[in-house]
Amino acid sequence: MPVYVYAITTADHPLRLDGVSGVGDPPAELYAIGDDSLRAVVSEAPEDLAAGRRDLEAHHAVQESLWADGSTLPLSFGFVAPDEDTVRAVLRERAEQFTRGLAEVSGRVEFNVKAVGNEEAVLREVLAGSEEARRLNEATRDGGGAYEDRLALGQLVAQEVQARQEAMAAEVVEALRPLSRSEQLSPPSGRYFLNASFLVDDDKAEEFARTGAELAERCAAVAEVRVRGPLPPYSFA
């Protein structure tokens, strides 16, 4: 029977799962399998598993409940194993790696930091700081100007926006890095020019959150900086 895997824990984790349900409709019952050193928290895998709100929230609720009682290696949504024996075999084969990973995240949490640019605000900054951009903008206002001018303006603005966002992303990361143990930086996407995850000691979590809020306020005129956490260490499992 296929099983849905939520997380890996040590064998002495309390595993208080009463009142917490797994993915699926109706919600699947949670249970643990493993040996004297490691366990995996699993449930029966639903046939119609999908990344919908119901199942995503159920997955996250299990992770939060487990993390509240001790260190875990949380798996990303959608991890399904062919059967229980496969899970047990993986726990045995990778026991050293999992044990080391659990030690690395023990007493630590994850914060995720994303930044979305305010295009209009950045454009105003570019025009204020670049005489060439102002000239091209005037020449092409209301659809006027040559095609070459419009192309040059678009390229200039894109370069300036990228440079400013790269500088802002570096500033945010540099400010938060001293408060973290480790970091994972994702490449900029079409929406986010910064997407970073930080592994933070429990006793640094409050300071990290406060520093993140201060950075968000400082950047508010040209970007929205979003700080989520503390979270189970998804990015460091």
Instruction: Give the dihedral sign, CA 87/92/94/98.
Output: positive
- Stretch(es) of the chain classified as CATH 3.30.70: 109-236
Instruction: Find out whether 63 and 72 touch, Cβ atoms under 8 Å.
Output: yes
Residue 153 has pLDDT above 70, yes or no: no
Separation of first and last alpha carbons in the chain: 25
Residue 208 has pLDDT above 80, yes or no: yes
User: Using CB atoms within 10 A of its CB, is residue 183 exposed (0-12), middle (13-18) or buried (19+)?
Assistant: middle
- Helices 119-129 and 147-176 cross at an angle (nearest 10°) of 110
Fold of the 109-236 domain: Alpha-Beta Plaits (3.30.70)
The pTM is what? 0.79
pLDDT of residue 129: 67
Chain mean pLDDT for the chain = 88
CA-based nearest residue to 59, from 184, 234, 198:
234
Identify which of 72-76, 118-122, 127-131 has the greatest average pLDDT. Answer: 72-76
